[in-house]
Structure 1
Amino acid sequence: MQQRAVRTREVLLRAAAEVFDEVGYTRASITSIVDRAGLTAGAVYFHFKSKEGLARAVIHEQAADLQFPQGEPGLQRLIDMTDYLAVEMQQNTLLRAGVRLAVEQNEADLHEYAIYEWWTERFREELVAARARGQLLPSADESAFASLLVAAYTGTQIMSQLSTKRADLPGRISAMWRCLLPALAPADVIRQITTSATATEARA
């Protein structure tokens, strides 16, 4: 019985992510979500209580499917993570819906900032590791830069979505790093860093 409940919740979460990704919070309805899930409205109210509860779950669990790049912690892995996220934003519905809801949440009065703190901490951990490896400039502040990176990434993906439906997001993220890296790392460290754009150029 418990396993069935877990499965039902997962089906609802995925269906909600698809609908929120397609039409946003305001235009999504419980009816459209349960129709997509092939379940009843009662299942929604048992697991999530409301559309708002579903939206909060999608925001909080947006990273559930992600398998971040392996490798030694530090600056290269941080950049690899952001390159990976750029590709996942093109194809991962749960991530894409969670990000959309987090960005558009004012219209739903959700006020869910914790997910931004979660991403900031993930990025900060890599910057702390980079500091330990001597990869950062003395003036670089790991916490401040992690927060800036989340903000810059959020804005970049919004611009990419409006411009090309995120088709150019990997390139935009590489351009973002070209602007940010000189404020973060010494020139000799930057020369050793590979982004998705430099990897593509190397293969050409």
Structure 2
Amino acid sequence: MAKQTRAVQTRRAILDAAASVFDEYGYERAAISEMLRRAGVTKGALYFHFPSKEAIAQAIMDEQTAVVALSGHAGEHSSPLQTVVNISQQFAFALRHDPIARAGTRLSVEGVFFGGPHPWGDWFRTIETHLERGKMRGEVLPHVDATVTAELIVASFTGIQLVSESTSKRADLRDRVTTLWQHLLPTIANPAVISWIKPEGILVTDPGSGSEPGPGGGGIEKGLAESEDSALGTDTEALVDTETLPGAAHPTAAPAGT
């Protein structure tokens, strides 16, 4: 057990050190010798865990992919549109504080690709899935193309974080991403819900982040239902009646709480 613990710790030290090197130098200029120096391990220890620099880079990108997937699952029972915002803002936070996130992003931007899953694929699919859920629940406007919009969101975030990195070392990244959402939300969100979506995101690192926004502290779903009741003057379980939207198809909103 002690050997297993040491092995896990050594692997973690190698990945963290390698991440800082990749983030600083990029893939081509990253030297194994510098990774060894920063990790404080021998060459034999490194090659016991990773047969090559390529394998180290792939492991870092795999960890980043796992974080994206976990962020997506965390929002399965909450507002899909707020979840998309939260994913972007949570990753913006990770870029400021997590060397794995920074290295994985740099490697992806550089186009480092070893024949495994494409580094952008999970981003696209995760965002697209939540946008489709948002359309079903009436949060996202019916005409929005989830695939195209997901790629636009990921591309916009990528460009913004690059500008933020070069101008402020990402100190202003959350503000920049918030501005992005302030411009995007009016084009994709149902007007009945847009006032309850927080463009600054709801992060696990924020005080009081256990609940989402809405009237009376009841969360977004309550806010959606109350907006609907107020607009229609009826007692309904539908989150949003998409039939009331210009050019909308037959209502597809799911019952509240699903």
Shorter chain as normaliser: what TM range? Answer: 0.7 to 0.9
Tell me: CA distance 1:42–1:103, structure 2 relative to 1, closer, same or farther (3 Å): same
Which deviates further from its counterpart, 39-48 or 163-172?
Answer: 39-48
Q: Please give the secondary structure, in 1, of the residue aligned with 2:64.
A: coil
Give yes or no for the alignment of 1:192 onto 2:229.
no
Aligned match for 1:30, one of 21, 29, 32: 32
Residues 36-185 of structure 1 aligned to structure 2 (within 5 Å): 36-62=38-64, 68=71, 72-105=78-111, 110=114, 114-185=118-189
Which deviates further from its counterpart, 134-143 or 4-13?
Answer: 4-13
RMSD of Structure 2 on Structure 1 (CA): 2.5
Aligned to 1:20: 22
Structure 2: runs of 5 or more not aligned? 202-258
Structure-2 separation of matches of 1:113 and 1:191: 37
Structure-2 separation of matches of 1:83 and 1:169: 9
Superposition deviation, residue 152 in structure 1: 1.1
Superposition deviation, residue 65 in structure 1: 6.2
Residue-pair matches, total: 196
Post-superposition CA distance 1:5-36 (Å, at most 9, x none)? 33332221111112212222233211110111
Superposition deviation, residue 89 in structure 1: 1.1
Output the TM-score relative to the length of structure 2. 0.68
Superposition deviation, residue 113 in structure 1: 6.0
Aligned to 1:8: 10
Superposition deviation, residue 121 in structure 1: 1.7
Output the TM-score relative to the length of structure 1. 0.84
Higher relative contact order at CA 8 Å, sep ≥6: structure 1 or structure 2? 1
Structure-2 separation of matches of 1:196 and 1:179: 12
Read off the aligned partner of 1:96 and give its amino acid letter: R
Superposition deviation, residue 139 in structure 1: 0.8
Superposition deviation, residue 64 in structure 1: 5.2
Structure 1: runs of 5 or more not aligned? 198-204
Superposition deviation, residue 99 in structure 1: 0.5
Larger radius of gyration: 2
Of all paired residues, the percent bearing the same amino acid is 39
The structure richer in helix per residue is 1
- Any conservation in 2 of the 1:156–1:173 contact (CA below 8 Å)? yes
